[in-house]
């Protein structure tokens, strides 16, 4: 039992063999079957027009407070709690303020759910589309149901990509990482952009898969993505941060780097 005196051990996180919630396995069955390369291109063409609505970052946070992530075996708390736990752990370690801000906003792309998107098109681990599936991707057996699994040009060699083309030229499975990256890329330093864009790409940053897609910049940024990961993962606990007390600090931090409103 997880308590303050007896926190969850690190190897108890990301347990997909025996997930604490049955929704996790069902989530990946749907995600892997339906995230085709064509699906990703269609979602980019639609959502990267940013024509849904304009709202403040705090409005987006308020919405996230109502969302529980079905793909996550480690937390059933509202998302704002997860964002605060991530950012506060960074602040405790005296990480740079842009990184604390990155921790605080890294999952805000989940507002996609606000626009009616199903969770399999918003959350969960990400993977490259248009090139062979790696067994390092969680629940990779579910890719067998994806129409792209039968497309020779996607499942041979380096797929539709040139070796070393760089992850910025790869169409990752669509979700909150890629979406938020496009919303903040002009305002945050490159390591922050990588932390946001690739934080769910565990097959790359944890397992070392898809290294043939990397370029020099990806290799240089990988340590930053890895530095981000433990805060995202191991700060999850049942202890709820007090938003009201912390809000002034985060308001100032957001105002330092980000415009007040954003066009989603
Ligand atoms: Fe995330
Ligand atoms: Fe997260």
Q: Any idea where the domains of the chain sit in the sequence?
A: 20-258
pLDDT > 90 in the chain, percent: 77
CA of 177 to the centre of ligand 1 (A): 7
CA of 56 to the centre of ligand 2 (A): 20
CA of 232 to the centre of ligand 2 (A): 5
pLDDT of 5: 43
Distance between CA atoms of 238 and 180, rounded to whole angstroms?
26
Residue 250 or 62, more confident: 250
Residue 58 or 166, more confident: 166
Q: Looking at the CA of 87, name the nearest ligand.
A: 2
- For residue 129, is pLDDT > 50? yes
Full 3-state SS string of 23-81: HHHHHHHHHHHHCCHHHHHHHHHHHCCCCCCEEEHHHHHHHHCCCCCCCCCCCCCCHHH
Q: Shortest CA distance to 196 belongs to which of 119, 103, 62, 87?
A: 103
- DSSP-assigned beta bridge partners for residue 128: 172
Phi and psi angles of residue 128, each rounded to the nearest 5 degrees, phi first? -70, 140
Each residue of 101-127: pLDDT tens digit? Answer: 999 999 999 999 989 999 999 999 999
- For residue 3, is pLDDT > 60? no
Distance between CA atoms of 225 and 133, rounded to whole angstroms?
22
Cβ atoms within 10 Å of 9's Cβ, excluding its own: 9
CA of 76 to the centre of ligand 2 (A): 12
Q: Shortest CA distance to 188 belongs to which of 127, 122, 82, 262?
A: 262
CA of 194 to the centre of ligand 2 (A): 14
CA of 160 to the centre of ligand 2 (A): 30
pLDDT of 169: 98
CA of 174 to the centre of ligand 1 (A): 12
CA of 81 to the centre of ligand 1 (A): 13
Q: Residues 163, 212: contact at Cβ < 8 Å?
A: yes
* 15 confidence band (pLDDT: 50, 70, 90): confident
Please state, rounded to an integer, the average pLDDT across all residues of the chain. 92
- For residue 11, is pLDDT > 90? no
CA of 201 to the centre of ligand 1 (A): 10
DSSP code at position 172? B
- Residue 193 CA from chain centroid, whole number: 12
- For residue 223, is pLDDT > 60? yes
Phi-psi region of 130 (alpha: psi -120 to 50; beta: other; left: phi over 0): left
pLDDT of 240: 86
Beta strands in 53-162 (DSSP E): 54-56
pLDDT of 4: 44
Please state the rounded mean pLDDT for residues 173-184.
98
Residue 216 or 238, more confident: 216
- For residue 2, is pLDDT > 60? no
Residue with tokens 């067998």: 144
DSSP code at position 132? P
CA of 176 to the centre of ligand 2 (A): 10
CA of 258 to the centre of ligand 1 (A): 19
Residue 49 or 5, more confident: 49
**Radius of gyration of the chain, Cα coordinates, nearest whole angstrom:** 18
Distance between CA atoms of 80 and 59, rounded to whole angstroms?
12
Tokens of 54: 């304009």
CA of 156 to the centre of ligand 2 (A): 32
* 1 confidence band (pLDDT: 50, 70, 90): very low
* Prediction pTM value: 0.92
Residue 151 or 240, more confident: 151
Could you list which residues have their CB under 5 Å from ion ligand 2? 107, 232
Tokens of 117: 């998107």
CA of 183 to the centre of ligand 2 (A): 17
HSE at residue 107, side-chain half, CA atoms within 13 A, is: 30
CA of 14 to the centre of ligand 2 (A): 12
Distance between CA atoms of 150 and 144, rounded to whole angstroms?
8
pLDDT of 201: 98
Residue 77 or 195, more confident: 195
CA of 222 to the centre of ligand 2 (A): 17
Distance between CA atoms of 9 and 57, rounded to whole angstroms?
33
* 75 confidence band (pLDDT: 50, 70, 90): low
Q: Which stretch of 30-39, 76-85, 137-146, 213-222 has the lowest confidence by average pLDDT? A: 76-85
Q: Looking at the CA of 110, name the nearest ligand.
A: 1
């Amino acid at each position: 039992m997880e308590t303050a005196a007896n926190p969850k051990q690190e190897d108890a996180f990301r347990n997909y063999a025996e997930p604490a919630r049955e929704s996790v396995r069902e989530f990946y069955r749907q995600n892997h079957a339906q995230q085709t390369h064509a699906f990703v291109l269609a979602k980019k063409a639609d959502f990267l027009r940013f024509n849904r609505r304009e709202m403040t970052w705090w409005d987006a946070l308020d919405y996230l407070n109502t969302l529980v992530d079905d793909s996550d075996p480690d937390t059933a708390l509202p998302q704002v709690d997860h964002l605060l736990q991530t950012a506060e752990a960074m602040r405790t370690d005296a990480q740079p303020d842009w990184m604390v801000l990155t921790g605080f906003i890294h999952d805000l792309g989940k507002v996609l759910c606000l626009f009616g998107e199903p969770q399999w098109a918003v959350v969960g681990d990400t993977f490259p589309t248009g090139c062979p599936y790696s067994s390092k991707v969680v629940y990779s057996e579910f890719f067998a149901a994806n129409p792209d699994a039968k497309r020779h040009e996607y499942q041979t060699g380096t797929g539709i990509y040139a070796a070393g083309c760089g992850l910025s030229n790869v169409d990752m499975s669509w979700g909150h990482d890629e979406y938020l990256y496009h919303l903040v890329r002009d305002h945050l330093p490159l390591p922050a952009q990588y932390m946001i864009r690739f934080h769910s790409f565990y097959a790359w940053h944890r397992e070392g898969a898809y290294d043939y897609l990397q370029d020099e910049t990806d290799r240089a940024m990988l340590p930053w993505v890895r530095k981000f990961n433990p805060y995202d993962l191991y700060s999850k606990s049942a202890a709820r941060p007090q938003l009201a007390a912390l809000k002034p600090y985060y308001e100032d931090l957001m105002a330092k780097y980000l415009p007040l409103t954003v066009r989603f």
